[in-house]
């Protein structure tokens, strides 16, 4: 394979690159390790779903740590994301409503800590997932003593850095019909089947966010890229991308999925592999 790297990629760290295409770079590393090496004001948009800290069985990370430790980590991530976003850049987070065995509102804490590092809260989208995977009675069954409500939705919280307007204005690829649909803050999108990753989201979610909040050719970052759904959406919609995941297992899954999707689209992707 040709080892040539496009000029825009020279701005990003060389170490821990796991896989590349003409449009993107996949890193296999702790996200903070990579984020701290990315220059200021270089990313156009962040689209991600961070770990929810609810006990999901990931490959090699603990998803059920103390509330304090979880948000100490997330505050560091938010600080780095704010630094590397361009002024006017957007950050989109798909997030659940609460963590395991408590009722802390994760969306509220995310907004609080994001604003603390400088982000401006701009939009909240309700992602209605059409039912719940396991309909279990939480709390006391058939009693008012301590019932828990199961919520078949998640929130997509969107922030801006400094300016709400994204300037200079460049070419968009969103149709009028898509604009009308995407700006209605209730997205009726079926959940992913999770065959690639235990916390996989459907491709329709990053697709909508990419079209609504970015221009053609923008650089999209997903610091918790998992099985590569955001990267795949970027490849299809002509955006550049940076993906980071700490798990080599899921990085390999993401690589295979990106190649498979390229073949489906009859694209001749220029691929770069780690040595």
**The residue to which tokens 């509330």 are assigned:** 67
Closest CA to 210 of 266, 157, 172: 172
- The domain spanning residue 204 has which CATH number? 3.40.50.150
Mean pLDDT of 104-121: 93
Residue 141 counted as domain residue: no
Q: What is the pLDDT of residue 160?
A: 98
Nearest of 221, 218, 207, 217 to residue 178 by alpha carbon: 207
pLDDT at residue 73 tops 80: yes
Question: CB-based contacts of 64: which residues, under 8 Å, 6+ apart?
Answer: 53, 54, 55, 100
Q: Within a domain: residue 2?
A: no
- What CA–CA distance (Å, rounded) separates 108 from 43? 25
In a domain, 4, yes or no: no
In the predicted model, is pLDDT for residue 163 greater than 70? yes
Residue 98 lies in a domain: yes
| 5 is a domain residue | no
Measure the CA–CA gap between 45 and 55, rounded to whole angstroms.
28
The range of the structural domain enclosing residue 43 comes to: 12-135+148-273
Helix axes 248-264 and 229-237, enclosed angle (nearest 10): 30
Query: Is residue 122 scored above 60 in pLDDT?
Result: yes
Mean pLDDT of the chain: 86
Query: Residue 176: inside a domain, yes or no?
Result: yes
**Counted domains in the chain:** 1
pLDDT at 190: 85
- Judge whether 227 lies within some domain: yes
């Amino acid at each position: 394979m040709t080892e040539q790297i496009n000029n825009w990629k020279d701005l990003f760290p060389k170490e821990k690159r796991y896989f590349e295409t003409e449009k993107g770079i996949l890193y296999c590393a702790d996200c903070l390790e990579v984020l701290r090496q990315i220059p200021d004001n270089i990313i156009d948009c962040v689209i991600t779903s961070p770990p929810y800290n609810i006990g999901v069985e990931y490959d090699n990370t603990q998803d059920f740590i103390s509330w304090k430790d979880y948000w100490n980590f997330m505050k560091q991530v938010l600080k780095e994301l704010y630094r590397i976003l361009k002024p006017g850049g957007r950050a989109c987070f798909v997030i659940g409503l609460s963590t395991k065995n408590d009722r802390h509102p994760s969306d509220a804490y995310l907004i609080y800590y994001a604003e603390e590092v400088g982000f401006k809260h701009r939009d909240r989208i309700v992602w209605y997932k059409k039912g719940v995977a396991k309909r279990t009675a939480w709390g006391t069954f058939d009693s008012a003593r301590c019932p828990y409500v199961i919520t078949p939705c998640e929130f997509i919280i969107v922030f801006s850095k400094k300016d709400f307007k994204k300037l200079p204005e460049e070419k968009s690829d969103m149709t009028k019909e898509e604009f009308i649909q995407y700006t209605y803050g209730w997205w009726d999108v079926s959940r992913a089947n999770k065959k690639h990753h235990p916390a996989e989201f459907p491709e329709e979610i990053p697709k909508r966010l990419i079209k609504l909040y970015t221009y053609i050719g923008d650089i999209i970052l997903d610091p918790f890229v998992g099985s590569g759904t955001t990267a795949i959406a970027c490849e299809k919609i002509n955006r550049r991308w940076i993906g980071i995941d700490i798990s080599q297992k899921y990085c390999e899954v993401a690589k295979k999925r990106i190649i498979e999707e390229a073949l489906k689209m009859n694209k001749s992707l220029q691929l770069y592999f780690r040595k």
